[in-house]
Structure 1
Amino acid sequence: MSDILQKILAVKAEEVAAARKHRDLPSVRTEAEANRHDSALGPRGFAQAMRDKIGAGQAAVIAEVKKASPSKGVLRPDFKPAEIAGSYAEHGAACLSVLTDEQFFQGHADYLREARAACALPVLRKDFMVDLYQVYEARSWGADCILLIVAALDQGLMVELEACAHELGMDVLVEVHDGHELERALRLSTALVGVNNRNLHTFETTLDTTLGLLKHMPGDRVVVTESGILKPDDVHKMRAADVNAFLVGEAFMRADDPGAELARLFA
């Protein structure tokens, strides 16, 4: 495990402990379960939205709403989640990914709420999930999907977090960086497998990470390539290999109009 990931996970444990003191688990669980049947906040079908795009012969883009990152600093000083989400929806995104980590990515729960309220797209809570509390919390905020990072979790906890998400009507995107992590990810039931092209130790990106794992990927999984998609050639390279799902953040966040950049990149 990389030093930065260890640091982030230690902070997450502290955040969950503090959150539990502010609002106990039964309260969060009650709200999460109630939201499942709420007309405005009920799950929107994240995985299905991805499949629908791919089935129509289009790229399924998870467009990220991200203010900053530990490696690149602030990406978008003028950060307006609702406007960004609306622009993505207008220009053909399948889903949204909203950073809720505050300390390392300058995210916030309110950004998820604002982005989701601004459009009809399903939303991923992009954070480092280490506790069941966060899964209930995600659904209480209106998230339609959670991220599970294999490098950050033991197998038992990962299975438990996935089961909780599914019980609440959410989908799960499981993220891997290499073959060993993929082997573990494939023991889960989720169809969404994200391959992060960024090396956790060096922060370098290469699309060969995704391409190299394809031969080990069962046909019933939706492969989502993450990080390093910066130009149309990157998209063409992936689609030529029958990778049709993408999670893109930095390229959009640095553009004047994120949605227009999405349309340009995936034209």
Structure 2
Amino acid sequence: MSVLDDIISGVRLDLAERAARVPLSDVRRAAADAAPARPVMPAFRSDALSVVAEVKRKSPSKGDLAEIPDPAALAAAYAAGGATAISVLTEERRFRGSLADLDAVRAAVDVPVLRKDFMVDEYQFHEARAHGADLVLLIVAALGDAQLSDFLALTAELGMTALVETHTAEEVDRAVAVGAELIGVNNRNLKTLDVDLATFGGLSERIGPGAVRVAESGIFTAADVATVAAQGADAILVGEALVRHGDPTAAIAGFIAAAERARA
């Protein structure tokens, strides 16, 4: 069993417990009653580098990263630095995230919020919308073609935007084939947890000009940002570097400036 398979197995167990407490019909109603999702693509298509800043306590590869006692305060600092969106880990077992974190961040900022989890069931999409998410993550490696297409359609039906994550050429081709507008290239192989910043550079052109290209994982410094920006990144998703930084507001502003210099 790969690391990804193991994580998803745990996600399904936790999902079954939540669904036993709150039936899908109730979650659907809560999603329908929620304020409309915020539009995100215009901001991602702007000339400046977009930064998706992550509220992330722990990871399977690095262990504990930061305590983050107040995710709302961290999210506000991200927004002050110019983050285009805030990503909130809600997976509990491996990342110590929660839907309560998503609620806290949603209440604290006006920028779009991404529910970052391993989406494998319709329930999770209604749940994300009910908790105020504007974006969700679809991991191509975790989904068959029919699931990917169906979940992309469900995301749009709920008014949200999908960040479709890839890490191989075949996965990029699948994301493009289903019409994904926001495609991430994860420099971390989710099956082995190895990281190679060159992964984005090798796959960026394969995405083509029709979709927004997001570089994910392995981005720690302004030099890293400049590298992926020069390779065509329209956006970056950064977690560890920001939660461990003493001044995440300044760090985000610095990343945006580094990308601007690299493109000049």
Q: Distance in 2 between matches of 1:155 and 1:201?
A: 19
Residue ranges of structure 2 left out of the alignment (5+ in a row): 258-264
C-alpha change, 1:201 and 1:190, in structure 2 (3 Å) is closer
Q: Is the 8 A contact 1:196 1:210 kept in 2?
A: yes
Q: Is the 8 A contact 1:193 1:224 kept in 2?
A: yes
1:78 Cα deviation after fit:
4.1
Residue equivalent to 2:260: none
- 1:157-168 matches, within 5 Å, as 157-168=147-158
Task: Measure, in 2, the Cα distance between the counterparts of 1:164 and 1:139.
Answer: 11
Amino acid at match of 2:21: H
Per-residue Cα deviation, 1:99-125 (whole angstroms, up to 9, x for no partner): 000111000101111112111110010
Cα distance in 1 for partners of 2:192, 2:25 equals: 40
- Among candidates 35, 39, 50, match of residue 44 of structure 2: 50
- The residue type paired with residue 211 of structure 2 is R
2:123: which partner in 1? Answer: 133
- More displaced, 128-137 or 108-117? 108-117
Q: Which residue of 2 aligns with 1:3?
A: 2
2:94 corresponds in structure 1 to 104
Q: If the length of structure 2 is used for normalisation, what is the TM-score?
A: 0.93
Distance 2:48 2:40 in 1: 16
Distance 2:175 2:241 in 1: 27
Please tell me whether the aligned partners of residues 213 and 232 of structure 2 are also in contact (alpha carbons under 8 angstroms).
no
Matched with 2:262 is none
For each residue in 1:173-226, what CA deviation from the matched residue of structure 2 results, as whole angstroms up to 9, or x when unmatched? 000010011111112222000000012244222221111112311211100000
Q: Which residue of 2 aligns with 1:175?
A: 165
Match of 2:109 in 1: 119
Percent identical across equivalent pairs? 43
Q: What is the TM-score normalised by the length of structure 1?
A: 0.92
CA distance in 2, matches of 1:262, 1:76: 18
Alpha-carbon separation, structure 2, partners of 1:240 and 1:254:
25
Count how many residue pairs are aligned between Structure 1 and Structure 2: 257
After superposition, the C-alpha distances for 1:37-70 in whole angstroms (9 at most, x for unaligned) are: x3xxx2111223322xxx2x31100000111111
Counterpart check, 1:17 vs 2:43: no
Q: Secondary structure at the match of 1:266?
A: helix
Partner of residue 64, structure 1:
54
Distance 2:14 2:33 in 1: 24
The Cα RMSD (Å) is 1.3
